[in-house]
Each structure stands twice: as structure tokens, then as C-alpha cells.
Structure 1
Amino acid sequence: MTTASDISLDRWERRTAGALTALAVVFIAAYAVPILRPGLSSAWVIGCEITNLVIWGLFGVDYLVRLVLSTDRWRFLRSHMFDLAVLVLPVLRPLRMLRLVTALLVLNRRAEAWTRGRLAVYIGATTVLLVFVGALAILDVERGRPESNIQSYPEALWWGVVTITTVGYGDFYPTTVEGRLVALGLMIGGIGLIGFVTGSLATWIVDRISTTERSAEATKSDVERLLTELRDLRAEVTTLRRIADESQGTGRSPEPESESSAEVPQQATAPGTP
């Protein structure tokens, strides 16, 4: 049964969906600019950091509001533990890249609604976003470390592609603990996406085969029914032809002539006879 709290929660999510999506995009942009442009002035870097903190705080407010509006709050907490973790853990400086996960969760929530029924669009957008964000995160924690071999975004992007596809050439790899955590998340995401695509493709193939078999069975039954009807029609035609032949006198004895008709020629052959 839908309660007033459920209605309020649904109304809140619908009203804030667009704003949160825009904030998530701005959040990722503010996170990416200092990483992609390491030569930015300190004022720009501080401005981007403040923007990130403010938006991250707004994500936290959204979580608290949804918790308050939820009918079963314990159930909400249990089902949104991961959301809570990525909101709390980035307080620690080494785990600041987890803030990106918060933005990804917000974007994913909207992407599911936008692309429902469009599997290819959803999978493609999710994959591109994961690679882009994963490359940003790995470059953020690896660049500047003397033992690291990922020092530019193209290198990080290449690493992200080979990692999410589970290819793993090994030419670029993380050397820090934070970088390995990013790699772990990207590998898990890649395995999940590949498994999802493979399962969906297998389901589609099975459905197509089943549909083809059902169509073949239907076609076979239709052919058998048509053959039966043709045999019935042929039998009817044969019966009608026999009846028509019989009606035209085939196989019938001639009728005897009447006496009046026999006497007429005799009278004709003896004219004037009294």
C-alpha cells in the first residue's frame, strides 16, 4: 500500500532528478579540470575543490532527505549502504576519488530511467563514463609518483580501456594502493558489463531460436491443414463430377416408348385407308 511518505519520496526524487544530474556533470567537470590541466593557477584549483565539496555536500543532503522521507528507514539504510559509504569515506584524503562514485551513482539512477528498454545505449554510455572517470581517478593518484608509469591522461585512458575490457596488456599499471583500488573497481565494473552483455545476447539468441521454432511449427501445421483441405476438396469434386455424369444419362437404361407414339408412324404410311 502506498503511503504519504512514499508519495513524498517519489515527488522529491522526481523534482530533484534534473538538478542532481546537472550537479553530477558539474562535479565530474570540476574534478577533471585540475587533473587534465595541471598548470592551472591555484585560484582555479581552489575554486574547483570548493565546487566539488559543495556539490558533494548537496549529494549528502539528498541522501538524508530520502532517508527521512522513506517509510522503512532501516530498509533504506540496508539497501543504500554503498551510497552511504561513498559519501562518508571520501572525507579521508586518500579516498577522495570515491566522490566520483557518488556522481556516477546519481547519473546511473537517471540513465536507467532515460534508456529503459534501450540496452545498447545504456551499456555504451555506462562503459564510456566508467573509462573516462576511471582514467581521471588513476591519473589523480598516480601522477607525480616516482615509481608510477602513468603520467598523462592518454596513458591513463589507454590503461582504462584495457582494464575494463579485462585485456590487461601490462604496459601501464598502478603502483599505489589508491590506484590499485581504482583498478579493482574498474575491473569489477568491466566484468559486470561483459557478463551483462553476454547474458543479454544469449537471452536474445535463445528467444530468436524459440521464435523461429514456433514459427516453423506453426508453418508445418498450416501446411498439413491445407493438404487436408485439398484432399477434402478433391473428394468433393470427384463426387460432384459423378453426380453430373449420372444426371446427363451416363449408365441409365432408355425409357420405353408410349403406344400413342408408336401408332403415329403407321397411320402416316397408309394414307386414305378407311
Structure 2
Amino acid sequence: MRDDPTTREEDWERRTELPLFYASLLFIAGYAVRVLASRSEHLWRDAAGIVVLLTWLCFIGDYAVRLVLSGDRPLRFVRRHWLDSLIVLLPTLRPLRMVKVHDAVQARRERPRRGLYQRVITYAGLSAVLLGFSGALGVYHHEHRDPRSSIRTFWDAVWWVCETLTTVGYGDVAPVTPAGRVIAIGLMVCGLALLGAVTGSFSSWLIQVFRREDEEEPPGNRGSPGAP
């Protein structure tokens, strides 16, 4: 039924997923200008601050509309949509909704959904890039003015993010502020999850390919390696 709260919420989410994804890109761009622009560039910093505030209000408004459409109690809605609740507080985590964004793009173009392995690789790759860039901005913002920190430039932050997401961890640069370490914990968790998803998907794909080759191989060629 069209009046069902779940249906109304899903319709709203399907229609707003792409616009909100573009809004998240604007948020990240505005945040980047705000962090990287010099203090003398007041006009750019003020404009970027307005963009960040407006896009953040869009996320809050979307969350409020979905709460009303769902018909749930606030606490139940928060538990059911814990990731969305976290994204409202930390909009830079919006890339974690990349799967739904990808499905929305495919549906908008009336294309069938890609295979599971392609979707996992696409999701992991785009999420790693956007989360990595957001994490580098956040760490640089909190670390570069601290005299104890070894992260002095934005490229130091990018290098550190690459080490963290790939679980290499050379230890040559590391955050020392409380906010920087919280960001580090988040990136460590996301890096392990993304790396595990890609590795598991790739291994499963290889097993599937080898199994298909074995099934297509003629029975006469399936002898043991030592057979003449």
C-alpha cells in the first residue's frame, strides 16, 4: 500500500539518495577549503563555512523527514538506522552509504545491478578514496598546529591515511591529539572492514572461476597429475 510508513520512507530515501550524495561531496569540498585555505583568505573560508552549514542542514532535514515518515519512535528509529544517525553527527562518513548510492545510480539509468563482486570492489574503492580524503582533512585540521605532532602538512596527513587504511602502519607519522586519535580509530576499523571485504570477495571470485573451469573441463582430462 502507498500509505504504508515503510513504503513512504523507502520512496523518500530512493528519491533523495543521489541529491544527498552530491550534497555530501559539496560538504567535503567546503570542509577542504575551510581547512586548507590560509587564514588570510577570509572570503573563501567564509563561503566554505556557509556551504558546510547548508549541506549539514540538508542531512539533518532528511533525517527528520525520514523519522516522521517511518512512524517509529525516535529511539527505535535511531537503533534501526544507526549508521544514518552517525552520519548526521559526522557527515564525512556519508561515503559508507556508497552501496545505496550505486544502486540508486543504476536504477536511475535503468540498468541492471552489477554482479556482487563488481559491487564490492566499486563500493570499497570509492569508500576508501572518500573516507581517506575526509580522514586526511580531519587529522590535518586537528594535528598541524600541535607542536608535538609529526603531521605538519596535508601531505603528511595523506601519507598517514594511506598507511592506516592499508594496515601498513610504518609509524613515521602518527596523531597525538584526542580528536586525531579518534579519527585514527575510525579509519583503522574502516580500513580493516574494506580490506577484508575486498580480499574475501576476490578470493570467492577466484574459487568460483576455478570451480567453473573444473566443471567445464572434459572428463578425460581430469586424471591425477601422476597418470600417464
Which residue of 91, 94, 98 corresponds with 1:99? 91
CA distance, structure 1, for counterparts of residue 43 and residue 99 of structure 2: 32
Q: Determine the structure 2 residue equivalent to 1:16.
A: 16
Number of equivalences:
210
Q: Which entry has the higher C-alpha Rg, 1 or 2?
A: 1
Tell me the residue number matched to 1:224: none
Cα distance in 2, alignment partners of residues 210 and 14 from structure 1: 37
The corresponding residue for 1:109 is 100
| Distance of aligned partners of 1:131 and 1:187 in 2 relative to their CA distance in 1, 3 Å threshold | same
Which residue of the partner structure matches residue 174 of structure 1? 175
Aligned counterparts of 2:171 and 2:76: Cα–Cα separation in 1: 42
| TM-score where L is the length of structure 1 | 0.68
CA distance in 1, matches of 2:175, 2:25: 26
Q: Is the CA contact (8 Å cut-off) linking 1:20 and 1:106 kept in structure 2?
A: no
Q: 1:52 to 1:151 in 2, by over 3 A?
A: same
Q: Distance in 2 between matches of 1:107 and 1:208?
A: 27
Matched, 1:207 2:214: no
Q: 1:215 to 1:105 in 2, by over 3 A?
A: closer
1:197 is paired with a residue of what secondary structure? helix
Alpha-carbon distance, 1:109 to partner:
3.4
Question: What percentage of aligned pairs have identical amino acids?
Answer: 38
Q: Is the 8 A contact 2:92 2:131 kept in 1?
A: no
Provide Cα deviations, 1:114-147, integer angstroms capped at 9, x if missing partner. Answer: 4743333332222211211111111011111111
Residue 200 to residue 83, structure 1, CA distance change in 2 (3 Å): same
**1:1-274 equivalent positions in 2, closer than 5 A:** 4-73=4-73, 75-88=76-89, 98-101=90-93, 103-105=94-96, 109-114=100-105, 116-117=114-115, 118-119=118-119, 120-216=121-217, 219-220=218-219
Structure 1 residue 28 displacement after superposition: 0.6
With structure 2 as the length reference, what TM-score do the two structures score? 0.81
In 2: Cα distance, 1:178 partner to 1:157 partner: 17
RMSD, aligned CA: 2.5
Gap change, CA 1:9 and 1:151, over 3 Å in 2: same
Give 2:109's aligned residue: none
Contact 1:131 1:164 in 2 (8 A): yes
- For the 8 Å contact 1:24–1:107, the answer to whether it is kept is no
Q: Give unpaired runs (5+ residues) of structure 1.
A: 89-97, 222-274
Q: Distance in 2 between matches of 1:37 and 1:108?
A: 32
Deviations 1:76-96 (A, max 9, x none): 3212123224434xxxxxxxx
Q: Which has the higher contact order (CA 8 A, sep 6+)?
A: 2
CA–CA distance in 1 between the matches of 2:103 and 2:193? 16
Q: How far off is 1:105 after superposition?
A: 4.3
Per-residue CA deviation, residues 176-216 of structure 1 (Å, 9 max, x unaligned), is 01101111111111111111111111211221222122223
